[in-house]
Every structure is written in structure tokens, then in C-alpha cells.
């Protein structure tokens, strides 16, 4: 062999054996589209932290591919959502979209994901349409549908003897669908929703509506609020003198990640959610210790949903050996998976929404203490989904 040929062969061998693995298979680009400002900012932050934690635990690689990140602040603003998601898909060429918190923004993301064939994993937003009429092979949720915690609380409220209930929420998909789930179960059990109160997202001028509740004197109130708005609502409800007279029931977002700010005003509140404190399973213990070590903070439901979004990506990527273009095989793997989550094991239903236990929790100190299972293995009906 001539000297020059020999050198070329040697260089080729070195390229395979000496170059880091990351240079051999291209990195997988994850685009976070989350709220990093506004009333849901803390929720976006916790989701990103949970996602990154799982990836770090796997040495920074999923399905053999090194993970890199880009991110966009969606400001929980549906009007900016299409532009924002297109930045990630068209400008940044992401392989996977991870987002978001707000249901209205998530619906724009789902449309873009469907139109462009980009994989989308939703780590919070419960918009029913996304795993209903908009469902698709490349769209998954690691969180819940808005209907699920509401439905579970409708059953709980009826069992606890409430007959006439007032609901209060923000007027957008999440609030409407949470109340819809509650009403469906509550009225099936013989109760009656006597008034549905709402205000535009993200307004927090609750006083006139609290005055109306005091005048109606229902047996209980059901509510959906989250983030900064939930903190203010719980405090205003107590300040209006309603806490000790009219039981307040909520989807668990009312008191998740918010207890430090709500303090005494949240004590004793009952909520329903797919995560809580004191679950006492091995996965949750390990997750909490790891999260605490990484961020010096206690994780909440949003952190769990971020962590599980990364776990779901790993399951799909492992099945296709990192080749994300194999969407049918990716989906098949997730549809068959049992996901070992800090919330307890869950599965992915035919419309790609989690089938999961919904817990009944009660606030005690800084904990949303799990006091029982409100509804076991609850599946969203997935109405209108045709895969």
C-alpha cells in the first residue's frame, strides 16, 4: 500500500474509534416551548427542570442520541403561539417539541405538529381536543386531560354530600373543560351545578364573583386555577370569609407548587390530581431525592410531568434506535409501555393521553397529602379521536 493510501486508511479508522460518539450520530434537538414569564412561569420552569433531570440521569443521551436544547418563552399567549412554534420547527429545526402549559397555546402547537409531522410531547396542557379531534400518531401527552381531575372531583363532591355547587374558573379551554368534567360526574351522581362563574385568563379580580358566591350560599364550590392566579384565589377566598363556611374543592393545580405562598389559607383544602405528597413508592422516593439534589427544591406535579415527558421520549427513541422518523414504531412502543412514573405506573391510552389514578389530596402544612385514590385508572374518553 502506498504511504498516502495508508495514511488515509489510518485517518478513517481514527475517525470511527477516536471521535466522540456525539460526532458519529447527530444530536437530537429538543425544543422547549414553555411559559417563562407570566402567571404560569413557575410551571414552565419546573417542567424543564424535570425533563433535564431525566436526561441527565441517562448521561445526556436518549436512544443513543445526545440531547441538545433550544427554548422559546410562549408567555401563555395563544395569539403568539403559531409564530413561536414555527420558530422552533422552521428556524431551529427541532426534532421534538416539548410544550406547553396553557391549553390555548397547546392547540396551536398541536396543529403545527400535525401539519409539519414534528413529534410533540405535551408536558402539561390538558386541552381535551389535543387527544380528541386533533389526536395524531405524532402527538402525546405526559400529563392529564382537563377532564380527568374535574371528573374525579365530581364523584368526590357528590360522595361527600354536596348537592348544589357553584363553579368558578378562568374562561378558556382548561377552565371550561375542568368544570365540564366535574359537572359530568357530579350531575350523574344526582348533584346540580347551580351557577358557572368565570373571568378572562389571567385576570385575578375575584372579589365580585366571591360576593356572588356568598349570596348564593351553595353547598360547595369547585374551581380550576393554577400558578400565580391560584395563589391569589385561595387567599381571596379565605379573606372573603368563605373558607370556613363553603367547602372549596379544586383540580389539584389549585394547591400544587403554591403552598408556600398560600400558607394558612390553603390548609385543609381538598383537591384531586394524578400526583401528591406521601405516595411512598420507590420511583417517587428516588425522583424526589434526585430533584432535591439537583435543584435544592421539592418537586411538584409539573416537574413530574416534565420528567415523564423525557421518559416517554426515551421509550420511543429506544424502540426506533434513535431514528425519530420511524413514527409508527415510536407510537407503537409508547402505546404498549407501562411508564414507571413518580406518580405510580401509568399507560398511554389509544388517543395518547395517560390512563392513571387520580388521587384525593388534602393540604397539610406544605404538603398535598394523598389521602386516597379518588378514581382508579381513569382514562379520558378521547371523544372525537380518530387515529
- C-alpha span between 275 and 307 (Å, rounded): 13
Least separation in angstroms between residue 252's CB and ligand BEZ is: 9
- Taking CB under 6 A as the criterion, the residue among 147, 249, 253, 291 binding ligand BEZ is 253
Residue pair 228/203 in contact (Cβ under 8 Å)? The answer is no
- Taking CB under 6 A as the criterion, the residue among 226, 231, 360, 363 binding ligand BEZ is 226
Interface with ligand BEZ includes 126 (CB under 6 A)?
yes
Pick the closer one to ligand BEZ by CB: 55 or 107.
Answer: 107
Binding span for ligand BEZ by CB under 6 A among 58-66, 122-130, 209-217, 258-266:
122-130
Least separation in angstroms between residue 253's CB and ligand BEZ is: 4
Binding residues for ligand BEZ, rule CB under 6 A, total: 12
Return the C-alpha cell found at 279: 405516595
| Residues ≥6 apart with Cβ < 8 Å to 126 | 103, 141, 143, 144, 145, 146, 147, 148, 174, 177, 178
| Residues ≥6 apart with Cβ < 8 Å to 208 | none
Cis amide linkage into residue 202, ω under 30° from 0: yes
Pick the closer one to ligand BEZ by CB: 101 or 221.
Answer: 101
- C-alpha span between 216 and 198 (Å, rounded): 15
| Nearest of 45, 46, 232, 223 to residue 149 by alpha carbon | 223
Binding span for ligand BEZ by CB under 6 A among 57-65, 85-93, 95-103, 316-324:
95-103
Residue whose entry in the numeric block shows the C-alpha cell 404538603: 367
Pick the closer one to ligand BEZ by CB: 218 or 228.
Answer: 228
Pick the closer one to ligand BEZ by CB: 191 or 223.
Answer: 223
Integer angstrom CA distances of residue 36 from 31, 79, 95, 254: 14, 16, 21, 19
Interface with ligand BEZ includes 229 (CB under 6 A)?
no
- Taking CB under 6 A as the criterion, the residue among 35, 75, 98, 103 binding ligand BEZ is 103
Interface with ligand BEZ includes 101 (CB under 6 A)?
yes
Residue pair 102/35 in contact (Cβ under 8 Å)? The answer is yes
Binding span for ligand BEZ by CB under 6 A among 55-63, 124-132, 271-279, 318-326:
124-132
Interface with ligand BEZ includes 223 (CB under 6 A)?
no
3-state SS assignment for residue 281: coil
Interface with ligand BEZ includes 129 (CB under 6 A)?
no
- Give the Cβ contact number of residue 114 at 10 Å: 17
DSSP, residue by residue, 148-215: HHHHHHHHHHHHTT--EEEEEEESSHHHHHHHHHHHHHHHHTT-EEEEEEEE-TT----HHHHHHHHH
Residue pair 256/300 in contact (Cβ under 8 Å)? The answer is yes
Interface with ligand BEZ includes 311 (CB under 6 A)?
no
Interface with ligand BEZ includes 174 (CB under 6 A)?
yes
Pick the closer one to ligand BEZ by CB: 146 or 356.
Answer: 146
What is the phi/psi pair of residue 345, to 5°? -65, 135
Pick the closer one to ligand BEZ by CB: 109 or 125.
Answer: 125
- Taking CB under 6 A as the criterion, the residue among 65, 102, 183, 343 binding ligand BEZ is 102
What's the number of CA atoms in the CB half-sphere (13 Å) around residue 118? Answer: 28
> What's the per-residue H, E or C state across 305-328?
HHHHHHHHHHHHHHHCCCCCCCHH
Residue whose entry in the numeric block shows the C-alpha cell 458519529: 24
Pick the closer one to ligand BEZ by CB: 89 or 125.
Answer: 125
Binding span for ligand BEZ by CB under 6 A among 17-25, 118-126, 189-197, 323-331:
118-126
Per-position x/- string for 15-44, each x denoting binding to ligand BEZ as judged by CB under 6 A, each - no binding = -------------------------x----
* Binding region for ligand BEZ (CB under 6 A): 40, 101-103, 124-127, 146, 174, 226, 253
Amino acid at each position: 500500500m502506498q504511504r498516502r493510501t495508508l495514511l488515509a486508511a489510518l485517518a478513517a479508522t481514527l475517525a470511527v474509534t477516536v471521535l466522540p460518539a456525539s460526532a458519529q450520530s447527530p444530536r437530537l434537538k429538543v425544543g422547549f416551548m414553555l411559559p417563562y414569564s407570566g402567571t404560569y412561569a413557575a410551571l414552565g420552569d419546573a417542567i424543564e427542570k424535570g425533563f433535564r433531570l431525566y436526561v441527565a440521569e441517562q448521561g445526556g443521551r436518549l436512544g443513543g442520541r445526545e440531547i441538545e436544547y433550544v427554548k422559546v418563552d410562549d408567555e401563555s399567549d395563544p395569539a403568539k403561539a403559531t409564530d413561536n412554534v414555527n420558530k422552533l420547527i422552521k428556524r431551529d429545526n427541532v426534532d421534538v417539541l416539548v410544550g406547553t402549559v396553557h391549553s390555548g397555546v397547546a392547540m396551536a402547537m398541536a396543529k403545527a405538529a400535525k401539519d409539519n409531522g414534528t413529534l410533540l410531547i405535551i408536558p402539561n396542557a390538558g386541552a381535551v381536543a389535543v387527544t380528541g379531534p386533533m389526536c395524531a400518531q405524532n402527538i402525546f401527552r405526559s400529563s392529564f386531560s382537563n377532564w380527568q381531575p374535574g371528573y374525579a372531583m365530581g364523584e368526590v363532591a357528590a360522595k361527600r354530600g354536596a348537592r348544589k355547587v357553584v363553579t368558578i374558573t378562568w374562561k378558556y379551554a382548561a377552565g371550561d373543560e375542568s368544570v365540564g368534567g366535574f359537572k359530568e360526574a357530579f350531575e350523574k351522581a344526582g348533584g346540580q351545578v347551580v351557577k358557572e362563574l368565570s373571568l378572562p385568563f389571567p385576570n385575578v379580580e375575584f372579589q365580585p364573583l366571591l360576593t356572588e358566591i356568598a349570596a348564593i350560599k351553595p353547598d360547595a364550590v369547585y374551581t380550576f386555577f393554577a400558578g400565580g392566579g391560584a395563589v391569589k384565589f385561595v387567599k381571596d377566598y379565605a379573606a372573603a370569609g368563605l373558607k370556613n363556611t363553603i367547602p372549596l374543592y379544586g383540580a389539584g393545580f389549585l394547591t400544587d407548587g403554591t403552598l408556600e405562598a398560600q400558607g394558612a389559607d390553603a390548609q385543609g383544602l381538598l383537591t384531586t390530581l394524578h400526583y401528591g405528597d406521601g405516595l411512598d413508592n420507590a420511583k417517587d422516593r428516588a425522583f424526589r431525592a434526585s430533584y432535591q439534589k439537583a435543584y435544592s427544591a421539592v418537586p411538584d406535579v409539573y416537574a413530574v410531568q416534565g420528567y415523564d415527558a423525557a421518559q416517554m421520549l426515551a421509550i420511543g427513541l429506544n424502540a426506533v434506535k434513535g431514528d425519530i422518523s420511524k413514527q409508527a414504531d415510536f407510537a407503537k412502543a409508547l402505546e404498549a409501555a407501562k411508564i414507571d412514573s413518580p406518580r405510580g405506573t401509568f399507560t398511554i391510552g389509544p388517543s395518547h393521553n395517560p390512563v392513571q389514578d387520580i388521587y384525593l389530596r388534602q393540604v397539610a402544612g406544605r404538603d398535598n397529602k394523598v389521602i386516597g385514590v379518588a378514581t382508579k385508572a381513569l382514562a379520558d374518553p378521547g371523544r372525537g379521536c380518530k387515529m
